[in-house]
Amino acid sequence: MIVCKFGGTSVASAEQIQKVANIVKSNPARKIVAVSAPGKRSDDDIKVTDLLIQLANAALQHENTEEKLQTVVNRFRAIADGLGLDHAICDVIAEDLRERVQGDKTNVELFIDSIKAAGEDNNAKLIAAYFNAIGMPARYISPKEGLVVNDLPERTFALPEAYANLAPLKDTKEIIVFPGFFGYTKAGVLRTFDRGGSDITGSILAAAVEAELYENFTDVDCVFSANPKVVNDPVEIKEITYREMRELSYAGFSVFHDEALMPVYKIGVPVNIKNTNNPLAPGTRIVPSRPATGRPVTGISADSGFSTLYVSKYLMNREVGFGRKLLQILEDENISYEHTPSGLDDISVIMRSNQLTPENEARIISRVKEELHAEYVEMRHGFSMIVIVGEGMRHNTGLAARAATAISETGANIEMINQGSSEVSLVFGVLQEYENRILQALYEEFFAHAKAK
């Protein structure tokens, strides 16, 4: 069995959904299809998810929601018309949206989750209807029928019983069309996954049915060694390990959500990134291990939007429990951290800036000063993380020096260096303004020069 997921651009229009049908039909092993909400049809278009967020905000502000609701329905109606479907499916979608808009608004986060999830949920219903209309026996299944997730306040993840609940889908004779992006708590409360949540749903399904392959269809032929919007004609990656992909996805590779690797990683299901618009292209395979190549670096990625909590205290290294107490303050504010580079008398905690507000930032600084008696505390913003990734890095001497030299030649200062014990990745913290320049310089060092040789 093959589980395949189709992203927003792959299901943005009737024409794209017809391509999806042809892909599924071309291989009888493709029995489970996870779908996103309709994405952009062009650069100046609006994704259905964004239209739904506008609808949710209008409802929360007690505005008239009918016009915004009809805008969403009309997007689905245009798809239904293009597929030759009866408008009855649009009536079902409109009724579903009205029920969601009238839902409980006590918890704003959960209310917005419910509205946002309508994009994936209703698109799955529409696609299942189309499959059946063209003679492909299909069945829509709601995540309510097995994809059990945790309760607030933690970020959403599938509970172990979700895999057992979904395992019987391996025996399906029909094509299962399953909406991505969300699940339900044991109490029946809808919760959405993080960005790229449909990738996560597809991975959960692939792990649950122990699929032979998880195909993730998007709008690019493969994963590239660097961002093609920054680097000209980057090298294509034909095969990459789970660990390498996880590191690259963490720092800006938007082709595949980093959290989506965990379910398939646990049981060794390979992933194939493919292009809906060019399905015959081999794509990029993500596998448990791969043969060594002559190139130590597999890919380079960069992501912005990081902040650093810098704390200095003399003899910090002698103080038992200092690090734990510092991280406890962040935990109390429900903030996760990315890296903790440190010296004898200072430590930096790097985190995503979107977790910070002026209020919690002030509380953190105040508590660190008062409770830990730190001599200097500062929150610094505007950082990017540049990540160099490759299974072959551990066997290559001088790689960090080459990277640091390439960065220095851009005129940028390295604010932080971190290398994990696995030696699969090397992370450099730099000021955001240098991000693209550094990415180009590192690509030139590890790929262009190597190519020339």
Question: Annotated binding site for substrate: which residue ranges?
Answer: 49, 120
Q: 231, 232, 261, 267: which is closest to 248 by C-alpha? A: 261
Q: Which two tokens stand for residue 379?
A: 């929150």
CA 196/CA 132 separation, integer angstroms = 27
Q: Which two tokens stand for residue 60?
A: 């929360």
Q: Which two tokens stand for residue 6?
A: 């189709």
- CA distances to 17, 19, 313, 371 from 22, rounded to whole Å, are 9, 5, 63, 62
Omega into 228 within 30° of 0, i.e. cis?
Answer: no
Q: Which two tokens stand for residue 267?
A: 């049981």
DSSP-derived 3-state class of residue 287: strand
CA 39/CA 45 separation, integer angstroms = 8
Enumerate the known binding-site residues for ATP: 5-8, 218-219
Number of H helices, E strands in the chain: 15, 17
Residues in the chain: 453
In degrees to the nearest 10, what's the CA dihedral of 186, 192, 196, 197?
20
Would you say 60 and 105 are in contact if contact means Cβ atoms under 8 Å apart? yes
Q: Which two tokens stand for residue 234?
A: 């980057």
CA 17/CA 40 separation, integer angstroms = 13
114 Cα distance to chain centroid: 19
Would you say 396 and 295 are in contact if contact means Cβ atoms under 8 Å apart? no
Round the CA-based radius of gyration of the chain to a whole number and report it: 24
Q: Which two tokens stand for residue 410?
A: 């851009």
Q: 431, 422, 416: which is closest to 350 by C-alpha? A: 416
Enumerate the known binding-site residues: 5-8, 49, 120, 218-219
Q: Which residue has the tokens 């002026």?
A: 358
